[in-house]
Structure 1
Amino acid sequence: MSNRASAKHEKFRDLAESRTNKALDAIGRIGNLSNRSLYEWDEAEVRKVVKALKDAVSEVEARFASPKGKVGAKFKL
């Protein structure tokens, strides 16, 4: 690997690790919403949240398969 390619790979690894950890933390906070003593929700809302998360992961996979993909829309319950 050339020095430039190595630097680009290192940048990818650093950003991927940082952004993945932030995403995992955010998903954990979404999971905290399951506490029924603090929040009220119905199953349809939960399914909608989980579907949005799964769709976002599928979109990431597709973008790596074909890097010219677009960033998705914002979630609204």
Structure 2
Amino acid sequence: MSKREKFVRLAESRVNKALKDIQLIGNLSNRSAYDFDEKDLRKIFGALQKALEGARTRFDRTSEASQNEFRL
């Protein structure tokens, strides 16, 4: 299996799992079943946003590192 094939297989699996889990988080919006406030929402979505930004940074950093290579 090539590196590309492995990347595609894992990316599809992991992204689909993450999307399903995000949908499950959305199910918590049912006010007849759960009690929450704006502070709770800020914490949840702040944590998710921070995790996404961190993952994106890891991808960007690898491409930037090769572009900013020092040469004499």
TM tier relative to shorter chain: 0.7 to 0.9
Q: How many residues align?
A: 62
The runs of 5 or more residues in structure 2 that have no matched partner are: 63-72
Normalising to structure 2: TM-score of the pair? 0.81
Runs of 4+ in 1 over 4 A off after TM superposition: none
Alpha-carbon deviations, 1:2-60, whole Å to 9, x = none?
Answer: xx7xx110100010000000000000000100000100001100111000001010001
Equivalent position of 1:13 in the other structure? 8
- Correspondence 1:56 to 2:51: yes
The CA distance in 1 between the partners of 2:12 and 2:54, in whole Å, is 18
Identity of aligned residues (%): 52
Larger radius of gyration: 2
Normalising to structure 1: TM-score of the pair? 0.76
Which of 18, 26, 31 is equivalent to 1:23?
Answer: 18
The runs of 5 or more residues in structure 1 that have no matched partner are: 68-77
Q: What is the RMSD of the two structures over their aligned residues, measured on CA atoms?
A: 1.2
The CA distance in 2 between the partners of 1:62 and 1:9, in whole Å, is 20
